[in-house]
Amino acid sequence: DVKVTQSSRYLVKRTGEKVFLECVQDMDHENMFWYRQDPGLGLRLIYFSYDVKMKEKGDIPEGYSVSREKKERFSLILESASTNQTSMYLCASSTPFAGAYEQYFGPGTRLTVT
């Protein structure tokens, strides 16, 4: 079974802090994604990566950056956390093998910025 893990289930940070959210997948997937999920807005794509050191902006990249130094690990960075970044953050991975592309999700990190 594909396993996607995220470093924390719950996180509380102060405004202005630098925040790192880590995601690790164990299936050698090429593609990795970071989403945020807010009530009534569904999942919105922040950034994705299709290879090591390669990244592309999603729909809402402002205030975030990412890092992918190894294939299995994709990090989301909030350079200076703000209260409007309080949300559920979901990481996902996928592979183009067999043209499937279905995404496998981690359990999520609920981030509260005070």
Partner 1 sequence: EDKVVQSPLSLVVHEGDTVTLNCSYEVTNFRSLLWYKQEKKAPTFLFMLTSSGIEKKSGRLSSILDKKELSSILNITATQTGDSAIYLCAVRLNNAGGTSYGKLTFGQGTILTVHP
Nearer to partner 1, 81 or 89 (CB): 89
Amino acid at 64: Y
Q: Which helix (H) or strand (E) holds 52?
A: none
Q: Are 95 and 50 in contact (CB under 8 A)?
A: no
Going from the C-alpha of 4 to that of each of 33, 41, 73, 84, 94, the distances in angstroms are: 11, 23, 10, 26, 10
Binding partner 1 (rule: CB under 8 A), the pick from 1, 62, 69, 102 is 102
- Of the listed pieces 10-18, 67-75, 79-87, 92-100, which binds partner 1 according to CB under 8 A? 92-100
- Of the listed pieces 14-22, 28-36, 61-69, 70-78, which binds partner 1 according to CB under 8 A? 28-36
Report the interface residues with partner 1, using CB under 8 A. Answer: 4, 30-31, 33, 35, 40-45, 48, 50, 56, 58, 90, 94-96, 100-108
